[in-house]
């Protein structure tokens, strides 16, 4: 009996939907890009409850005929390509013909469309890949998509959706990535009937400033570098506006948002020694390259692309950013007209300040040809004493690195003595119970702080340091959505913080134990670590916040600990409930038993 058979279209579409539609933001991305491919100049996005109830996109694009309105819902039905070679000449966003079929398989969809030359439009309703209704309708030129009850027939996928603020943040991310390069197109967005964006057609710099919340154009440095291989343009932020969060970083290839760790590394290298290691610069870069030099057919989301010469692109992007940063000088300008300015090379010829000619003095006893020179002015200077403390005995062997040794008495389950040594690179070597431990000092401090912050949250025992003058912090719309969702939990950590209007928070106090940076840097660092590590805590927001604050406040590996500090760190570590692992599950220290050491030497 034959076993292999074709899957029904509705099942095949649901399988494809698992790759194309991962969350409501995926639907937003596909519909917005379709509107741009249709030539729309005005696009409106309406969402309810983070896109789980309704996603509606209304545009004034080309519209579709009756036949096209029906065909667009079939799998691999597209107007973008017709032969295989077209894949290497792509200038449109869509080309697979999978998006609409995938959306229709897992939602209730309604579409109204009309071409400008037609008298009436077409209405189509689809539920779970089944066409429920197709009738003529009176509608404006363009297309209107309404996607309701997303994942209604895939409950497992619906259960994996996050909270409404988190899903809204992802939608805002996708909206930003589509709207940013198309500054000549008007975009608007509404959530639960509240306006989020109203972007009018304008300049690129104005569009970028509206989307990322920067009001000062002077914070942007223009990038413009042309080459036969690629043209690099856009803006990079000045080093002093670098933030603790990496959200304001965008790379576009032919106006398509891409994720490329290789190019991000090139840009970070251009900022080398200009910003701190834990800071991230702002950049919005546009790469214009011939379509036959890139391959976008890598993943259904089309955010990963391959360049035919990655090394050359890397070098060009790095040099373009470096050139923009090099043209910006943060050094104070000297007023060369002022004769009092330090003039080491004599370029300034100030007016003489004395009416009389200064007297010339010379040492007549100086003879450069005598064997024993007696230059009075040099003898009196006794210059050789300046180097008395600089003498180094080259025969004395130099230690490869300093080692601090300390015997530590720890009151844990039982009295025990730990002998510890500090090692370069932020590590501590310790012997305990006939075992050698290599401790990561940053990981150890993070573990200690995590358990402390968890206790503070449970018992609400955090000490608050009130600010003399409250600080108002303006966040990006994405970070504001996150902060608004976890505002009450942030307060339990010891922050005295409140909502202060659109994208703004007011900070009246911070946890007394925090020491790193300003209030703004503290909050930005907390949000950054929370965004990237919340998945490690299985949805427990409070533990995720405690872990984020601990990660933000932990000492760096570059810090050299004094013996007393090292003693207290090791003492506190072994008083923790789980001293061997960090909050994200990675090890704090590595153990080497006597047997393991013996085996290593065999």
The average pLDDT across 444-450 equals 92
Among 73, 31, 81, 79, residue whose Cα is nearest residue 54: 31
pLDDT range class, residue 32, cuts 50, 70, 90: very high
Nearest CA among 93, 101, 80 for reference residue 178: 93
Q: Tell me which range, 60-69, 346-355, 373-382, 464-473, is most confidently predicted by mean pLDDT.
A: 60-69
Which two three-digit tokens encode residue 61? 């694009």
The whole-number pLDDT of residue 232 equals 95
Q: 142 versus 396: which is more confidently predicted?
A: 142
pLDDT at 124 > cutoff 90: yes
Tell if the pTM clears 0.85, that is, is over it: no
Q: What is the mean pLDDT of the chain?
A: 79
Domain at 204-326, CATH class = alpha beta
pLDDT-based confidence at residue 119 (cuts at 50, 70, 90) = very high
Across 35-39, 434-438, 490-494, which has the greatest mean pLDDT? Answer: 35-39
pLDDT digits (tens, 9 = 90+) for 476-502: 777 787 888 788 888 888 888 888 877
pLDDT at site 265:
92
What count of other Cβ atoms lies within 10 Å of the Cβ of residue 56?
A: 18
Structure tokens at 555: 């000492």
Residue 414 predicted with pLDDT over 60: no
3-state per-residue secondary structure call for 28-61: HHHHHHHHHHCCCCEEEEEEEHHHCCEEEEEECC
| pLDDT tens track for 270-286 | 998 888 777 889 899 99
CATH architecture of 9-199: 2-Layer Sandwich (3.30)
d(CA 287, CA 232): 5
Q: What is the pLDDT of residues 83-112, one digit of tens each?
A: 555 555 656 665 566 788 889 988 999 999
| CATH T-level topology, domain 405-591 | Ribosomal Protein S8; Chain: A, domain 1 (3.30.1370)
Place of tokens 């025992």: 461
Does pLDDT of 398 surpass 90?
no
Q: Which residues contact residue 281 at a Cβ distance below 8 angstroms, ignoring those fewer than 6 apart? A: 236, 237, 239, 242, 249, 267, 268, 271, 275
142-148 sheet: strands from edge to edge: 130-137, 121-127, 108-114, 142-148, 54-59, 42-48, 186-191, 194-199
Answer whether 525's CB lies under 8 Å from 513's CB.
Answer: no
Q: Which of 31-35, 94-98, 215-219 has the highest mean pLDDT?
A: 31-35
| pLDDT tens figures, 153-195 | 888 788 888 878 888 889 999 999 999 999 999 999 999 988 8
For the chain, what is the largest distance between any 2 Cα atoms, rounded to a whole number of angstroms? Answer: 119
Structural domain boundaries of the chain?
9-199, 204-326, 405-591
Give the pLDDT band (50/70/90) at residue 266: very high
Q: What percentage of the chain carries pLDDT values higher than 70?
A: 76
pLDDT category of residue 417 using cuts at 50, 70 and 90: low
- How much is the average pLDDT of 294-319? 81
* 36-51: average pLDDT: 93
């Amino acid at each position: 009996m034959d076993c292999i058979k074709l899957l029904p279209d509705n099942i095949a579409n649901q399988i494809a939907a698992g790759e194309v539609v991962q969350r409501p933001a995926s639907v937003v991305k596909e519909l917005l890009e379709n509107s741009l491919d249709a030539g729309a100049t005005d696009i409106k996005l309406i969402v309810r409850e983070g896109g789980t109830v309704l996603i509606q996109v209304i545009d004034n694009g080309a519209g579709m005929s009756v036949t096209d309105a029906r065909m667009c819902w079939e799998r691999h039905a597209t107007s973008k390509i017709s032969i295989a070679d077209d894949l290497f000449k792509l200038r449109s966003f869509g080309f697979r013909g999978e998006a609409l079929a995938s959306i229709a398989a897992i939602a209730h969809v309604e579409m109204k469309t009309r071409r400008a030359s037609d008298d009436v439009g077409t209405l189509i309703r689809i539920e779970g890949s089944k066409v429920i209704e197709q009738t003529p309708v009176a509608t404006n030129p363009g297309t209107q998509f309404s996607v309701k009850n997303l994942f209604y027939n895939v409950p497992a996928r619906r259960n994996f959706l996050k909270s409404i603020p988190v899903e809204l943040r992802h939608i805002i991310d996708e909206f930003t990535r589509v709207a940013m390069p198309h500054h000549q197109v008007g975009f608007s967005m509404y959530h639960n009937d509240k306006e989020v964006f109203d972007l009018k057609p304008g300049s690129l710099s104005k569009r970028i400033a509206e989307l990322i919340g920067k009001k000062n154009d002077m914070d942007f440095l223009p990038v413009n570098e042309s080459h036969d291989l690629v043209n690099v343009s856009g803006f990079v932020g000045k080093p002093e506006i670098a933030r603790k969060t990496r959200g304001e970083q965008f790379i576009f290839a032919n106006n398509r948002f891409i994720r490329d760790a290789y190019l991000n590394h090139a840009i970070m290298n251009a900022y080398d020694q200009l910003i701190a290691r834990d800071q991230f610069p702002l950049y919005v870069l546009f790469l214009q390259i011939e379509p036959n030099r890139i391959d976008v057919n890598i993943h259904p989301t089309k955010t990963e692309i391959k360049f035919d010469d990655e090394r050359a692109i890397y070098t060009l992007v790095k040099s373009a950013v470096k050139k923009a940063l090099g043209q910006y000088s943060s050094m104070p300008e000297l007023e060369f007209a002022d004769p009092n300015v330090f003039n080491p090379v004599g370029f300034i010829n100030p007016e003489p300040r004395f009416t009389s000619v200064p007297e010339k003095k010379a040492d007549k006893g100086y003879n450069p040809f005598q064997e024993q020179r007696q230059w009075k002015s040099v003898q009196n200077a006794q210059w050789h004493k300046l180097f008395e403390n600089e003498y180094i005995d080259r025969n004395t062997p130099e230690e490869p690195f300093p080692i601090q040794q300390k015997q530590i008495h720890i009151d844990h389950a039982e009295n025990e003595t730990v002998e510890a040594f500090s090692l370069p690179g932020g590590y501590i070597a310790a012997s305990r119970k006939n075992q050698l431990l290599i401790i990561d000092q940053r990981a150890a401090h993070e573990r200690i702080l995590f358990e402390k912050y968890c206790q503070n949250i449970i018992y609400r025992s955090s000490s608050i340091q009130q600010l003399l003058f409250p600080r108002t912090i303006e966040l990006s719309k994405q970070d504001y959505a996150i902060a608004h969702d976890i505002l009450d939990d942030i307060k339990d950590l010891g922050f005295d913080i409140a909502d202060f209007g659109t994208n703004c928070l007011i900070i009246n106090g911070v946890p007394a134990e925090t020491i790193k940076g300003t209030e703004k840097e503290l909050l930005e660092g907390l949000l950054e670590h929370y965004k990237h590590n919340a998945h490690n805590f299985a949805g427990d927001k409070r533990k995720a916040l405690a872990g984020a604050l601990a990660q933000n406040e932990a000492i760096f590996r570059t810090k050299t600990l004094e013996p007393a500090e090292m003693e207290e760190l090791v003492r506190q570590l072994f008083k923790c409930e789980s001293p061997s692992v960090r909050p994200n599950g990675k090890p704090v220290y590595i153990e080497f038993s006597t047997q393991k050491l013996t085996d290593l030497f065999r």
